[in-house]
Amino acid sequence: MEFSVAKNKFIQTWGALGSQWGINKTMAQIHALLMVSPEALSMEDVMAELHISRGNASMNLRNLIDWGIVFKEYKPGERREYFIAESNIDELARKIAKERSKREIKPTLRVLQEVSSLHNTTTTEAQHFKTKTAELYEFVSRADTMLEKITDYKENWITKTIMKLMK
């Protein structure tokens, strides 16, 4: 496969995968481009490579920076800002997991805690609802705590253990 075809295929596939981890297609495509670029790219480089507008590039780069998976890089003598992706795959996975927890799991936990604290449970249906939502809250809370413990380790032992098991 020719390099340009392979690179484009990777960027398109990573873009489609992005929706699975809570970001839009263009944001994931920008991330993919930066991840496989050997050096930092300017916003103009990103715009030209992906054929996107300045506003689209700017908004999505800002979001990637907020996620902590893209960083600004300054070059001496240059007025333009340059961008580079997190290069450590374990660190990338850790940051994505933390951000997803913050954006998806934590709000769900708040809702589960709220709805499972019914006061009027005189009916069988209301009691069943309270019991099930409380059980779900406990399960999700434990899973989130486990995820936090795993992602809090700088040395991601779980990834290394899984990789050893897969060999």
Q: How far is CA 73 from the centre of its chain?
A: 21
What's the confidence (pLDDT) of residue 101? 87
pLDDT tens sequence across 33-65? 999 999 999 999 999 999 999 999 999 999 999
pLDDT of residue 49: 96
Angle (deg, nearest 10), helices 25-36 and 3-18: 140
Whole-number pLDDT of residue 9: 95
pLDDT band at 156 (very low <50, low <70, confident <90, very high): low
What pLDDT, on a 0 to 100 scale, did the predictor assign at position 23? Answer: 83
Average of per-residue pLDDT across 140-145: 91
According to the model, what pLDDT value does residue 163 have? 54
Are the C-beta atoms of 72 and 81 separated by less than 8 Å? yes
Q: What percent of the chain has pLDDT over 70?
A: 91
Cα separation, 23 vs 12, in Å, equals 14
Residues 6+ away with beta carbon under 8 Å from 134: 116
pLDDT at 161 over 70: no
The pLDDT tens digits of the residues spanning 56-108 come to: 999 999 999 999 999 999 989 988 999 999 988 888 888 888 888 888 899 99
Question: Can you read off the two tokens belonging to residue 38?
Answer: 């050997």
3-85 topology per CATH:
Arc Repressor Mutant, subunit A (1.10.10)
For residue 106, what pLDDT is reported? 93
DSSP letter for 101, please.
I
Q: Where are the beta strands (DSSP E) in 32-116?
A: 41-42, 70-73, 82-85
Q: Calculate the average pLDDT of the chain.
A: 88
d(CA 40, CA 35) in angstroms, rounded, equals: 9
